[in-house]
Amino acid sequence: MSTKIKHINLIVGLLSVGVALYVFIESASFPLPHQSQLGAAVFPRILVILLVVLGLWISATGMKRKEDATIHHIKEVVLCLFGLIFYGAAIKPLGFLITTPIFIIFTLYILGVRRITSMIIISVGTTGTIFFIFRFLLSVPLPPGIIAL
């Protein structure tokens, strides 16, 4: 089932105004330049002015053409995003060798894989290969977490 995000370009236009406000407020505290020096605020301010002009232009034309963004499987995409966030958060405390197989099995399940043997082979094989390449071929330490090898 597809999900449509309506008025995406209008949202983008409004966001550009928000970014511009932030840049102007934040850059007000930047130090003033000496003579003939390019001030720290000048370049970002020119950029956000251009950003707002383009953002509003895109909003206006987007409204006319009624463009939407379509995501076919939003549930699976969001679940994978959460999976990634878990992976990123847990990789250091729990370690690469524990979090990676969990993430692989979780993601494969979301993507419709149900055969347990395939899941085990893929997760163990991938984890082992990547660990071997980084640890022994490249001598790059991966987070050991609670298993120190």
Contact 63, 17 (CB under 8 A): no
- Assigned token pair, 133: 């390449």
Could you say which of 14, 17, 24, 73 contacts other proteins (CB under 8 A)? 73
| x/- map, 77-116, other proteins, by CB under 8 A | x--xx--xx-xxx-xx---x---x--xx--xx-xxxx---
**91, HSE (Cβ side, Cα atoms, 13 Å):** 12
Contact 78, 35 (CB under 8 A): no
Nearest CB to other proteins, comparing residues 63 and 85: 85
Q: Per-residue DSSP letters for 64-75?
A: HHT--EEES-HH
Binders in 120-139 for other proteins, by CB under 8 A: 122, 126, 130, 133-134, 138-139
Confirm or reject binding of residue 36 to other proteins (CB under 8 A).
yes
Q: Which residue has the tokens 């640890």?
A: 135
What proportions of the chain, in percent to the nearest 5, are helix, strand and coil? Answer: 70, 5, 30
The footprint of other proteins (CB under 8 A) covers 5, 8-9, 12, 16, 19, 23, 26-27, 30-31, 33, 35-40, 43-44, 47-48, 50-51, 54-55, 57-58, 61, 67, 69-73, 76-77, 80-81, 84-85, 87-89, 91-92, 96, 100, 103-104, 107-108, 110-113, 122, 126, 130, 133-134, 138-143
